[in-house]
Amino acid sequence: MNFSVLQFPASNCDQDAVHAARLLGHSARLVWHKDTSLGDTDIVIVPGGFSYGDYLRCGAIARFSPVMQAVKQFADNGGLVLGLCNGFQVLTEAGLLPGALIRNRDLQFHCENIYLKTLTTDSPFTNKIPTGKNLRLPIAHGEGCYFADEPTLASLKANNQILWQYCDAAGNVTDKANPNGSLQNIAGICNERRNVAALMPHPERACELILGNDDGKWIFESVIAALKSKPALAVV
Amino acid sequence: MSIIDRIIILTRLPPPFIPNFTGASMKAKIIITPKKAVLDPQGKTVQNALAHMGYTGVTGVHIGKYIEIDLAPGTDKAAAEKAINDAAHKLLSNPVIEDYKLEIE
């Protein structure tokens, strides 16, 4: 499977995403933000970091990079897109996912392990996550508080678009387990069509035990399984 | 062409057929504020700080952004307002979480 990992000025988890994909036996390449074509791609990863210095708003400027046109087209054609941390911010700014990410409620940058409860295995990003397994993943963000208005939240719930919520080690979704104030402890969502998803935690940094966690591999395995059962998409 | 390129080009527009004899430079002023429904922990923190400093009667603090865009003298005001409103919607503010006010002078 071919992973295309976007690279904006000041992305810093692009190499981690490439490494994770290769570790799991797949091919991965970096795509510079000025490129207008993705090439042979099975999934686009929008990586973590501080694209454009987080100037104006996180992801606000990256969304206008030339490569994002190709990403939009790829997503419109049904291609899989996964945003990680800053990638989540870029995708909401680009309108590929609803809502927005704002400053953490305690104004602190949080760099710690959290637990994620997977709300549904009915998606290309969660289909391999074992039932009842709460993923332990690292977060590292200052603007990870998910916000959306009431109608949007209701719609996300109704369409089963909330993929992950912050929980404690036992799987309880509590305020204490919420590191940034995200509404309804939302850590990750997908679009209505279920081909674009994003989360604030870093699964790409959690695929090897030597780094402390390897639960991130469940999300990558899910994506691979979904791709294997799909017909190939046209190259954009 | 990115929005930033468009703003830069807008500020380099030649004067309209009827020149602006005053030659005064124009400025677009945009005030961006968080929507009321959005959590504003910065505002709350500043409110607490004001209370600690002894200021009374403060019932709320909201922190936003101020952006100034310099426009070439003689730029058509209506066209500039339309273009900057468009830019404000797409780039300068995020309509999901922010409101904005635009003034051109």
pLDDT at B23 over 90: no
| Among candidates B34, B41, B91 on the partner chain, residue whose Cβ is nearest the Cβ of A105 | B41
* Stretch 22-81 of chain B: residues touching chain A, C-beta under 8 Å: 34, 37-39, 41-42, 45
Q: For the segment A133-150, what is each residue's pLDDT rounded down to a tens digit?
A: 999 999 999 999 999 999
CB contact under 8 Å between B3 and A64, yes or no, is yes
Residue burial B29-45, b: 16+ Cβ < 10 Å; e: rest: ebebbbeeebbbbebbe
Q: What is the reported pLDDT for A20?
A: 97
Q: Nearest 5 degrees, angle CA A157-CA A217-CA A221?
A: 75
CB contact under 8 Å between B96 and A149, yes or no, is yes
Q: Is the dihedral of CA A234, A30, A2, A93 positive or negative?
A: negative
CB contact under 8 Å between A103 and B42, yes or no, is yes
CB contact under 8 Å between A57 and B2, yes or no, is no
B100 near B28, Cβ under 8 Å?
A: no
Q: Is the dihedral of CA A214, A219, A225, A227 positive or negative?
A: negative
- Rounded Cα gap, residues A182 and A145, in angstroms: 4
CB contact under 8 Å between A100 and B94, yes or no, is yes
| All structural domains of chain B | 3-14+26-104 (3.30.1280.10)
Minimal Cα–Cα distance from B41 to chain A, Å? Answer: 6
Instruction: Give the nearest chain B residue to A68 (CA atoms).
Output: B2
B37 near A149, Cβ under 8 Å?
A: yes
The one-letter amino acid code at A13 reads C
Best of A90, A103, A108, A180 to disrupt the B interface by mutation (most B CBs within 10 Å)? A103
Q: What is the ipTM of this complex?
A: 0.88
The residues on A that touch B, with CB distances below 8 Å, are: 56-57, 60-61, 64, 92-93, 98-100, 102-107, 145, 147-149, 181
Q: What is the reported pLDDT for B6?
A: 63
Q: What is the reported pLDDT for B22?
A: 55
> Where does residue A233 rank: exposed (0-12), middle (13-18), buried (19+ CB within 10 A)?
middle
pLDDT tens track, chain A, 236 positions: 999 999 999 999 999 999 999 999 999 999 999 999 999 999 999 999 999 999 999 999 999 999 999 999 999 999 999 999 999 999 999 999 999 999 999 999 999 999 999 999 999 999 999 999 999 999 999 999 999 999 999 999 999 999 999 999 999 999 999 999 999 999 999 999 999 999 999 999 999 999 999 999 999 999 999 999 976 554 45
The one-letter amino acid code at B49 reads A
The answer to whether residue A26 is catalytic is no
Q: For the segment B80-91, what is each residue's pLDDT rounded down to a tens digit?
A: 999 999 999 999
The answer to whether residue A19 is catalytic is no
- Tokens 């002894």 sit on residue: B54
Find the catalytic residue in A13, A85, A167, A190. Answer: A85
Per-residue pLDDT band for B19 (boundaries 50, 70, 90) equals very low
Q: For the segment B36-77, what is each residue's pLDDT rounded down to a tens digit?
A: 999 999 999 999 999 999 999 999 999 999 999 999 998 999
How big, in percent rounded to 5, are the helix, strand and coil portions of chain A? 30, 25, 45
Averaged pLDDT, B24-37: 94
Q: Which residues of B touch A92 (CB under 8 A)?
A: 96
Q: For the segment A41-80, what is each residue's pLDDT rounded down to a tens digit?
A: 999 999 999 999 999 999 999 999 999 999 999 999 999 9
Minimal Cα–Cα distance from A62 to chain B, Å? Answer: 10
The DSSP output letter for A184 is: G
CB contact under 8 Å between B41 and A93, yes or no, is no
User: What separation in angstroms does the CA of B83 have from each of B3, B15, B23, B65, B101?
Assistant: 10, 16, 21, 19, 14
Q: Which residues of B touch A57 (CB under 8 A)?
A: 94
Q: Average pLDDT of chain A?
A: 96
| All structural domains of chain A | 2-228 (3.40.50.880)
A200 near A187, Cβ under 8 Å?
A: yes
Q: Which residues of A touch B92 (CB under 8 A)?
A: 56
CB contact under 8 Å between B96 and A100, yes or no, is yes
The answer to whether residue A192 is catalytic is no
CB contact under 8 Å between A145 and B2, yes or no, is no
